[in-house]
Each structure stands twice: as C-alpha cells, then as structure tokens.
Structure 1
Amino acid sequence: MQTSVLFWRRTDIEGFERLTLSVGAESVTASSTVLCLEDGGFRLDHHWRLDGGWSAQSVTVERWNGRDHRKLTLERVPGGWEVDGLPRPDLDGADEPDLSVTPFCNTFPIRRTPETPGSTLPLDTAFIDGPAMTVTRSKQRYDRQGPGRVRYIDLGLSIGFEADLRVDERGLVVFYEHLFERVAPPA
C-alpha cells in the first residue's frame, strides 16, 4: 500500500483540504478534512473506499457547522446506490459519486477518460452537495485536451459550468479552474 498526503486550496472562497490517500493493487482508500468559510463556515470529513480500478464503492461524509452535525453514507450496492442504508432508485445507473467540496472525486472519471486528445467521457453522478448534505443525480462530461489536461463540463445541476483541469500522472487534480489548486507544504 502506497500512502501520500495531498493539500488543496479553494480559489473562489477561503477553504483548505488535507487528504490522505492509500493506493494498493486491490483497493484505494482516502480520508480527508475540509475547512471552508462557505455557507457560514464548516468542517467536513469524507472517507472513501474504492476498488483497484478507482471506482467508488462507498463514501461517508460528516459535516460540522457550529452545533449542527450531520452524517451521510453513500454506498454502491448490486443494482444501484443506498444513502444511509436506504435504497435510492433515483440514483440507479449513476457511475460515480461527486462530492462538491473536493477535487478528489474528479480523479475517478479522469482515470477512465481515454488519453487521446478529443476523447470524451460522459457520465451520470450521485452528486453530494457538501454544505447541504444532499444527494442528487446529475450529468457531467470530461473532454481530454492533451497530456495532463481535461475539460470538465456540467450537463446537470450546474449546467453551463465548465472548467479546465490539470492533473498529475495519477490523474489527481493539480489545478481546477475557478475552484481548486493543489499546494505543497513548506519543505
């Protein structure tokens, strides 16, 4: 198991994320804390379990906003998805979760987008709004622009939103136009 720590800073508002990523042959796990001034300020922890092909099997999200604490679990089950242990037929067929407060989950479809410039990958997502702690189905598309460059296009809940993304050799976001940039701790 190879473990690394990544940091992202929000570029649209004050916010910061620290994510611990562990990658093995059979599985990938990630645990993260996000601190953000959006929506009155909150702390959000998210924990991911993926298979060896970087397909999300589950994500648990916990949000603290003052005295308000909420927890949400999204899990892939045969034939669909469950939210907090209850079937969600409206999410059936969704390819991956997408959590609004992190660029980490963009890695899952980016790794599956063919490397050839001009290639495209449309997908349905189970979109988790971090501040609101809701799950809704949405559509997205990833267009390969060249090595390490992908264009994200929202075709669902935020239709019209587009952003250029730069990624490293593992498909992890280095720069997400309008929203995130990866930072390194001082040496």
Structure 2
Amino acid sequence: MVTSHVVTWEVTESLGYETSWIEIRGTTLKARGRAVGTRPEVHWISYDLDTGEDFVTRELHVRAATATGSRELALLHDGHGRWTANGEPLPEVDGALDCDLGLCPLTNTMPVLRHALQLGPGERTFLMAWVSVPDLTVHASQQTYTHLAHTETGARIRFTSGDYRRDVEFDGDGLVIDYQGLAHRLSLSPGRPRP
C-alpha cells in the first residue's frame, strides 16, 4: 500500500516556506520538495529524496539558487554505510543511515518512522549526513531523538544535537506538525492510500 501526502510548512528559521510531495510505500519514502527562504540569505531550494527499506536514505539531490549563483548536490548512500557527494567520498559520515537537509522538516521523518518513535517510548542517537542550506556542504551531525509524550495527533519528540535542543510534534504518520523555532505545518493533504 502507498500513502501520499502534500505538506506545506512555514519555515520560521529561514523566514520562508516549503512544500513537499511525499509517497510512503511500506518502509520506503520518496519525496520531492520546493522551498524558498530569506535567511541566512535569499534562496530557492528544490530536492528529490529516495530511501530504501527501513527508510534508509539512498539518494538526495538538491539544487540551490541564491543571488550569487546556483549549485547542485548529489548525495548518495551505497547501502553499506558509505556516502559520496557529487562523486567524492565522505568518510566523516560513513555509517550514517540518514541525510538531514538543513531547514527541511521532512528529513526528520525517516529516523522517527524507522524506530516508530511517533508511536511509543524510546530514545535513539544517530549519525546524520547533514546538508547546510543554501551552500549545500555536507557535515557529520550527531543527533538524538527522544519520545517525550503522546499527543492527540501523534507524539512530541525531543531533538538534540550538541547544544541545540528542540521539541518537535509529529503526527501519526511521522510527519512534522510543529518544530519549535524552525517550522510549523500550514497544510496537509489527507493521506491517500493506493494499492
């Protein structure tokens, strides 16, 4: 079964907006998104994300445009823990299962779904291939997700990375409703199951 969503967030940290078209099939996710922001500088982002089983990132393709020009990133995971960015090895993120696109609420979904943190208690720490926006450089990022409480619509999960700590509200499908200080959802199309 496939479930499709279209989600729009106001991204308060970038003073912008993002819309993502998401398809979840079993334990895989495909998405494409568009974002515009004015912080840290005026930028336009488009991305395509594809995961394998257990929501493990296979590839993330990002295009960014700013006043100084445009750039592209092809971030690929080989399924064995090794990553490349535009064909160059990224040994500092070897072992990571997920990408994390900066200023993008969608990429918090994969680790939450993989460990069903939107459904019940748990705490998990991950190494992420974090992509800075809008320069599209890739960095290693240690992140911890902790289920805090059930809510009427899903769960509240604490996100921690170094000194950065925010509470994030997810719905039952593992999609961000409100990410404290970063983004909040404006709209969600009803999930449409398809065979």
TM-score (norm 1): 0.89
What residue is the counterpart of 1:169 in the other structure?
172
Pick from 147, 151, 159: which aligns with 2:158? 151
What's the C-alpha RMSD, in Å, of the aligned pairs? 1.8
CA distance in 1, matches of 2:172, 2:72: 33
Alignment of 1:87-166 (within 5 A): 87-111=89-113, 112=115, 114=117, 115-117=119-121, 119-147=122-150, 148-154=155-161, 159-166=162-169
What are the ranges of 5 or more consecutive residues in structure 2 without an aligned counterpart?
189-195
What residue is the counterpart of 1:27 in the other structure?
28
CA distance in 1, matches of 2:3, 2:81: 31
CA distance in 2, matches of 1:180, 1:174: 8
Paired residues, number: 181
> Residue type matched to 2:44 in 1?
R
CA distance in 2, matches of 1:102, 1:86: 24
Report the CA distance shift for 1:109/1:25 in structure 2 as closer, same or farther (over 3 A): closer
The answer on 1:71 being equivalent to 2:75 is no
SS of the aligned residue for 1:133 comes to: coil
8 Å CA contact retained: 2:167, 2:180: yes
Cα deviations across residues 126-153 of structure 1 (Å, max 9, x unaligned)?
Answer: 1100112100111010011022110000
SS of the aligned residue for 2:40 comes to: helix
What are the ranges of 5 or more consecutive residues in structure 1 without an aligned counterpart?
none
SS of the aligned residue for 2:45 comes to: strand
Runs in 1 of length 4+ with deviation above 3 angstroms?
113-117
CA distance in 1, matches of 2:53, 2:24: 8
Cα deviations across residues 18-74 of structure 1 (Å, max 9, x unaligned)?
Answer: 100112236321000000001320000111001242221110110011250100011
